[in-house]
Amino acid sequence: MHAVDNAGRRFSALDPAPCPIEGAGTSASASPAPLPLALPYITVLGDLSDASDTALRRAAGLAAAHGARLRLLAFGALGDAVSAEQLPRLRWKARRIARLYQLPIEVGDTPARLSDLRAGLRPGELVVTHQRRASGLLAAWRGGAAAALAGRLPVPLLVVNEAGWRPYRQVLAAVDLLTQPECLARWACTVAGEAEVELLHVLRQARPGKARFGQVAQPGLELDLRRHAAALQRVVQSLGPQATRVRPTLALGDEVAAEILLRQPDTGDALIVIGRSTEAPWLDVLLGSVARSVLRATPHDVLVVPLSPGPGHNASAG
């Protein structure tokens, strides 16, 4: 394997390297493959802002595509109370979007606390909210209400950043091969619609800057790369018919969040999918997390999937 050291950017020991999948390739006449996950419920946390309206439209499009039940909850920034005057206007907004997409939208009771919201979530549910930009140094470090929700909800959270609600054209899904990569890949394919998915694994190296003269200096790195490439191929193959639209990519880097942001799509209508470990949430708060860093910096929509390290924990499959 050769190293790539581009001037003007942080060192990366390996540019994205496609891992070919035997037998992969789409057919123009083939019928759409069944999605690997069922999406039975979608809950939108909304308010009266234009950004919230966009999030509701994104959720309505997903609900129409998957036949999911859609509900809207009045929910301000984390910890904010929602005034009673907002509820009639929020119901009017729901009726307008429901007519546009020809689907029913339930307007549920406003949760008084985050614990009430958590208790009302159902298995396999997707929560959708818009990005509420934080102000102040502490809020900026925490990443705002969306990052706080992503760190505490037991189900995936789709944070809508982009102003449009057209189908996604580009999807970048970053997997950790030690933390339920198949679960994250299935969620990425389910929410991506018909878009192709780039499945990225960043192999962290203690000192990637030691690569010199076009060769990687770390002993055993070549074998390590081949082993991780094979594991990434197995993740893609686990998607069954969906594997034909997934492009696996392996990269070296010292900071996972920086690698994701470096390779994020440069156009709109894009989605980034990242995992969040549920093993030690207090450590994320103390040291920061990949999910929080990406949510704080990217202009694209972000799907955060809670994952448990190690085998034996499966997503609710459709």
What lies within 8 Å, CB to CB, of 19 at 6+ separation is 229, 232, 233, 236, 248, 249, 250
pLDDT in tens, 217-261: 556 778 888 899 999 999 999 999 999 999 999 988 888 999 999
- For the chain, strand residue ranges (E) read 14-18, 41-46, 69-74, 105-107, 126-130, 157-160, 170-174, 196-204, 246-253, 270-277, 301-307
pLDDT in tens, 79-109: 455 667 778 888 998 999 999 999 999 998 7
* Choice between 22 and 110, residue whose per-residue pLDDT is larger: 110
3-state DSSP assignment of residue 70: strand
The tokens describing 316, both together, are 């609710």
Residue 70 has pLDDT above 90, yes or no: yes
Residue 28 has pLDDT above 70, yes or no: no
3-state DSSP assignment of residue 250: strand
What does pTM read for this prediction? Answer: 0.82
Mean pLDDT, the chain, whole residue set: 79
Residue 43's identity, in one-letter code, is: T
Residue 141 has pLDDT above 50, yes or no: no
Number of neighbours of residue 242 by Cβ within 10 angstroms: 22
What lies within 8 Å, CB to CB, of 214 at 6+ separation is 2, 3
Give how far the C-alpha of residue 231 lies from the chain's centroid of Cα atoms, to the nearest Å.
21
